[in-house]
Amino acid sequence: MGKIVTLNAKFDHSCAVLRQCLALCCVALVMLSACSPAPEGLSHLHDYQQRVANTLNQPAVNYQPVPRIQPPSARDLRLLIERIEISLLDAMRLDACAAGPLIAERNSSLGRLQQGVLRYFYDRQLTEALQLCAKQLHNENPELAKRVQQQAEAKRKLMPQLRTQAITQDYAIRNIISMADRPLAKPDSSTLAPLFSAMNTLLQVLDDQAPLPTEPELIAALERLDKDAYIAQLWRALHDNHAYIQQLEPLVSNLSHNAGCLSAGVPKRAQVLRQVFIARFSGPVQRHLNALTHQAAQLEPYIQALDTPLPAWQTHLRHIVALDDQVKAITRNHVQYWQQFFRDCEFTPGA
């Protein structure tokens, strides 16, 4: 005869099972809530720090974004530059030489809207054309040739100011020295390569000793640099990674004590921490940081070539080109805590 189970016993058993299920659900919810989503572009660092925090049984670091630094406004950097005027009669007399069409184009409705590097492109063309016209007119019309030569000299003296204005007002340049609204998630050399080519074209125009590219080449380069967010996202990634590592200092500043390595023996927790550092920080985190700083170093000479005499502009460029060194320095400081941990726990390097 089988064992008789009362209704009350069945009910008690069902309640016990239900309580166990509810308890498991609560534990699962707590575990899920502890795994906060990674901030955009910081997934490697976020995964690493959460594993360290979990192993130490400490709360994970709640990353606080640091406000990004942007270049000074174009309005604050605008210069008052003397205009070189050529009389209408002289302009008409120049129609037969190279300066005539350029003057007409500059005075057109579209020409008046030109700014930035494209405007400087025409300034260089016009300066060279005026000098050439003065030579061509030397025998035919000496008086006109003299006036044109004076205009060419006056224009040439203004070129340093015009260059400064071109750099600080150009949309494409301002884009590549700004920080984007989000960091670069994954560095990609194939995406960066055409931007180097575009910057070379831009710098040809700004270098008075270099031959000018064609107008279509310049326009294509400016459009690419103006619309592509890759470089701006790279600066933002360096900025955010530096801030994140800096905020991790309280988590790793006392690793040896928190892992239990200051007493006899090496606890299991220390063994796990060692694996986390090797597998996560020495792996994905450092590969990502190395790729970011490597690309920033490649861009540094291009950014330095955009320098001007304006102090506010200089200050911003110095901040941009220092980002990779700042990330390297904060990374070295972070690794020093782990080196102390390895010594205290008597772990053999590379073992």
Confidence at 150, pLDDT banded by 50, 70, 90: confident
**Mean pLDDT for the chain?**
86
Average pLDDT over residues 289-308: 97
In terms of DSSP H, where are the helices of the chain?
7-34, 43-56, 88-93, 99-106, 109-113, 116-136, 142-169, 171-176, 189-206, 215-227, 230-247, 249-252, 255-259, 268-276, 286-304, 311-321, 323-344
Which has the minimum average pLDDT: 9-23, 76-90, 117-131, 220-234?
A: 9-23
Range from 13-17, 102-106, 125-129, 151-155 carrying the lowest mean pLDDT:
13-17
**pLDDT reported for residue 131:** 86
Letter string b/e over residues 206-224, b meaning 16 or more CB atoms within 10 A of that residue's CB: beeeeebbeeeebeebbeb
Q: Say which DSSP state 324 is in.
A: H
The pLDDT value given to residue 37: 82
pTM: 0.84
Residue 180 has pLDDT above 90, yes or no: yes
295-326 per-residue burial string, b: 16 or more CB within 10 A, e: under 16: bbeebbebbeebebebeebeebbebbbebbeb
What residues contact 181, with CB distance under 8 A and at least 6 apart?
236
pLDDT of 24 strictly over 50: no
Could you report the per-residue pLDDT of 26-80, keeping only the tens digit for each? 333 333 334 568 788 899 999 999 999 999 999 999 999 999 999 999 999 998 8
Residue 68, both tokens:
């990004």
What tokens appear for 260 in the block? 């239990």
Please tell me the predicted confidence (pLDDT) of residue 225. 98
